[in-house]
A and B are shown apart, each in its own frame.
Chain A
Amino acid sequence: MIKLKGVYKVYFPQTPNQVIALNNININVREGDFVTIIGSNGAGKSTLLKILAGIDKVDMGQVELAGEDITNYPEYARAKDIGRIDQNPLVSTAAQMTIEENLAMAYMRGKKRGLHKGITKKRQELFRDVLKSINMGLEKRLQVPVNTLSGGQRQALALIMATLAEPKLLLLDEHTAALDPKVAKEIMDITCKIVETKKLTTLMITHNMEQAIKFGNRLMMMHRGKIILDIDEVEKARLTIPQLIEKFTAVSGDVFADDRVLLAN
């Protein structure tokens, strides 16, 4: 499904500030995989997702999606197949446009947009149905501008927008990190439900070790631009947080440094 071959990403190359954000990444994610990604600050997790989404370009190496080499595709040309949600609820929705207008744009993801009416009865019905499924009461507020929603509601809307047009791949970059714990849990539940029903291949960055172990069928740990651990479903099922930290120390020879890491919650 996704293949990264020898991918490098270097910021400020050939200067004293050079950062090797991705250092020879080779991964192979199978269709239907739900991978959780964890790692210390600045490990390159967000960069990895940005490379996949086409927001950042690789400096070397190859990116393949569903058998197609997409290394040089700009972001908009990959969007048909990739839904992405950012940590910041303000990034994934258009604030001054209404819920239904945002959904209409997501509905047309990757398609040619012409002079078709943006909002039709048929589309509204569809939007109401999907919104109902997340139980936040948003289906009654189709005509409300998104900037009047709470962060959690905006993130829930972003989730629906990311998955409405059935992408091949869903990228979640700490999409619950900016929310308070109760709302974060709600959004996580919705995420699982959507990923399961749509059988989406998903990569989810989290700084919550418990979440990383609990969700998905595969866990990757990143450190200094490399993937240092890749744990499969069977092993992950038995994994505990102390074991995970121990493994990290053994492989990296470093202390796990993430100022926000939550061991449990």
Chain B
Amino acid sequence: MENIIINGLQQGFIYGFMALGVLLTFKILDFPDLTVEGTFPLGSAITAKAVVVGFNPVLAVLLGALSGCLAGLATGLMHTKLKINYILAGILTTSGIYTVMLRTMGQPNLSLLNKKSFFGIVLSSCGIVEKELTLFQYQAATITILLVMIVAARVLLGWFMKTDLGFTIRATGDNEKMIRSLGVNTDRIKLLTLVISNFLVALSGALACQSQGFADVGMGIGVLVAAIASVIVGEMFFGSKKLSLLLTGAVVGSVIYRALLSIGLRLNLPAEDFKMVTALLVLLALAIPKIKIRVKKPSLDRNTHVVGGINSDKA
């Protein structure tokens, strides 16, 4: 039980950054950005390499997160300047990222055994000596650090979405024509949002690397569906489409999702089935509202059944 809670919180917070990023693009901007599947391991790989070559782990995490901005920018530029379909743009960037990761690390994975971690540095800067802590104390301390970080991210994002600039992001996802007619260059807004979103996703990858002590080019597989599942779980948890609850919900959903995974592992459910189960659950969650709408009546307003992309049928 303890393990499930610890695991759920720790992994949930780490992947919570990614859930926030995915919420931003998929739901709020209505821009299903597949780049994140590459950005996550990229953040991890850059961080690992930076630590190995001797960077301070805190700086390494920051570098990892910033690498996500570049990936988001690449996808965004392909889509806005070259008019490449956003799905394809995301896939192209992801594909390129694999080369970048392999070139950076020089091998498919990189271990950080015996290297000081991000969490260790933060703890020692608070005057706590990592070696003196019990495992449980160490885990609790890690979770506290992550909690502070994710709350900060959630608060910052919540504040940002309530500014004039934040409104334009929501409006671009809601009614792009309208906000353009009010003088907003929506291409720029898309770029900005992709940069922010991929920053969060890469930060997620960077922290995952620091928590597990290695980076692997394959660690991005399935993280997108998991993040979407988290967003959906969060939405169901609060049962509201209000933006502030969606934001908090993404984090809560991520914790619940990771706790469920730990339970599954505890029950000795075969881990190789998790991705399929997650995919089916997401599919089910997306299908239910569509079926409900069919039963009611066909709606003329395409906006009535969506808060953006996850369940919109934008081609």
Contact = CB atoms under 8 A, between A and B. Distances in A.
Please determine whether chains A and B interact with each other in the same assembly. Answer: yes
B193 to A, nearest CB: 14
Central interface residue in A53, A74, A93, A95, by most chain B CB within 10 Å: A95
B136 interface: no
B174 A96 contact: yes
A3 to B, nearest CB: 22
Contacts of A116: 163-164
A39 B89 CA distance: 44
Central interface residue in A90, A91, A92, A114, by most chain B CB within 10 Å: A90
Nearest to A164: B182
Nearest to B174: A94
A79 B180 CA distance: 8
Contacts of B183: 76-77, 79-80, 108-111
B216 to A, nearest CB: 38
Contact of B301 (A90, A110, A114, A161): A90
Contacts of B177: 91
Nearest to B308: A96
A262 interface: no
A114 B168 CA distance: 10
A96 B164 contact: no
Contacts of B160: 115
Nearest to A74: B185
A101 interface: yes
B182 A109 contact: yes
A84 B167 contact: no
B241 to A, nearest CB: 8
B312 to A, nearest CB: 12
A97 interface: yes
Interface in B168-193: 168, 170-171, 174-175, 177-186
Interface string A89-132: 01111111100010011101111011111110000000000000
A198 B295 CA distance: 47
B213 interface: no
Nearest to A95: B303
Interface string A188-223: 000000000000000000000000000000000000
B184 A76 contact: yes
Central interface residue in A84, A106, A118, by most chain B CB within 10 Å: A118
A186 interface: no
DSSP majority for the B interface?
helix
B167 A95 contact: no
Contacts of B304: 95, 147
Nearest to B163: A115
A75 interface: yes
Given A76-B186, A91-B175, A147-B304, A118 B180 contact: no
A93 B162 contact: no
B166 interface: yes
B181 A105 contact: no
A111 B182 CA distance: 9
Given A96-B174, A147-B301, A79 B163 contact: no
Contacts of B182: 79, 105-106, 108-110, 161
A136 to B, nearest CB: 20
A119 B166 CA distance: 11
B175 A114 contact: no
Contacts of B181: 53, 55, 75, 79, 84, 92
Nearest to B183: A79
A136 B304 CA distance: 23
B163 A95 contact: no
Contact of B168 (A80, A90, A93, A105): A105
Contact of A97 (B165, B174, B180, B185): B174
B303 A96 contact: yes
A165 to B, nearest CB: 8
B302 to A, nearest CB: 8
B165 A94 contact: no
A97 B170 contact: yes
Given A76-B183, A118-B163, A97 B303 contact: no
B307 interface: yes
Contacts of B164: 104-105, 108, 113-118
A74 B186 CA distance: 11
Interface of B: 160, 162-168, 170-171, 174-175, 177-186, 241, 301, 303-304, 307
16 contacts: A74-B185, A76-B186, A91-B175, A93-B175, A96-B303, A104-B164, A108-B164, A109-B182, A109-B183, A113-B164, A115-B164, A118-B162, A118-B167, A119-B162, A147-B304, A161-B182
Interface of A: 53, 55, 74-77, 79-80, 84, 90-97, 101, 104-106, 108-111, 113-119, 147, 161
User: Closest 5 CB pairs between A and B?
Assistant: A79-B183, A110-B183, A95-B303, A113-B164, A94-B174
